[in-house]
Structure 1
């Protein structure tokens, strides 16, 4: 187990790394993490490592493709010869929930960074008999910058014919659960920082001779934000311990984190007033980044609907509902 002192030390190291990377875009964050021995931390305590890393990534609004770095080793188990350097995951296009957008005929999806020439793309494909993985070269697809609320994220849209050769995609279920937990942690980090900005603003902005943070209506909104983030963290922690149905637990954690970000964003913008809606204040960056991350691999609304559908089907079949935590 990682104790409090170690967590504090690891958190400080991650914040320093992300701060350096923000000041110098040439820094290779995954390579620096390996130099710091992060692989050893992950091997010893995957749950704690994932949460720490992606929470800090969210707080820093980092664009490092750490989700690819996390998922590619898992997907490599299904690919003959594994995956060498220079690969990226083609994530499903938004609007499909936790499902897939690529079919045996056509690939559509998102890359979380610009692919290099000759780089390979690993594409999860919805086939008639389940999920398969296809591998193609980025040069064979149309890759264009993805318009979004947050252009600084550096995402790209991918489209083109799906490679005919495909292999088993048994690892996708594990990779999807891992991605849901990582994105939940990142959304929590973004929401935490957005709430901190709101607290800083309301503590310094004065009306009627007092900080507006002293007003009951403002305090209630800030408190609601704190509570919803704490609930999202608790559900994320619980998702790592759920061995009976880890995919559902991870999906629930992602759904709850997305909804937490929505609430914190709305409350933070409200208490910051007009300043919170301006480009000169940093708050909009956390609102926008969280909004697009929420849509990746299923938004809070989409995943909540999926959870409801699962519950209805299991009750209709006379089965119990394994997830009793409200999301």
Structure 2
């Protein structure tokens, strides 16, 4: 019975994400010039989706079947590839998190991968580094229930996000599925991806240059360059708040470390150049400890983020360091006795300013 829970896991995508993709498809077909004749039925379905609770989710295999049917219906063999630029423009929240140019490339890609895996369970992304390259592998969570259009669209979207934010093209892109057109690689792939991809490879992957020769050891730990960058930021903050204000120094670092996932006391102590025991002693002298400080920070940030209309549950789970939305829901209910949705219903969020 080992691993039975993995087989029972149903991978899903939020309705909010589907609505965004539906709007991207509508815009693509309008630009193509045949929206009115081809998308009338689908357009009605998008309107129905828009009326759903955006916290609902749809199984990945259901989406895959619909995408393949839709691609045939509109006679578009490269639907995922062509929709990717439209979808990225629709995903405004990606711009909130991933336009940071000062963050080292390795950590940038790691945070992007973590966020993408929270917002959509279609794929998982894993990073590997060499002295020359940062390799971003893209693997379907449900290989038998995935469409080629989803894989190509996902890879193309990651490429577009990185290129827009960093002005960087991958060294190479590989797909594990065979070349769709036996006559050769269409020029479209090179135009959309910036490179001519390989097909029938062992992995779906994007390969970027590792100019800083950056490395990392643990998922929740910044890379070598990111660690040094974070220490430099803390040094500036320390001058502002005082070296002996340990709780405030820790809160500053923890809020950033949450982007990487679940922080731990050893990592925090290392960033502050003390032993975990010394750090605990300083915090106890201020009437707190690592775990109470982390819990209090998460509770405060959760309410702050829920008060902002532009953040959805996937965003907040990411910003609070959780692996998925379910863990955020469980934690929030343990803190306040209600779900995030119930809290928002009684505390309507403020629309974004500016």
TM-score by structure 2 length?
0.25
| Pair member with larger Rg | 2
Whichever structure has more strand as a proportion of its residues is 1
TM-score by structure 1 length?
0.27
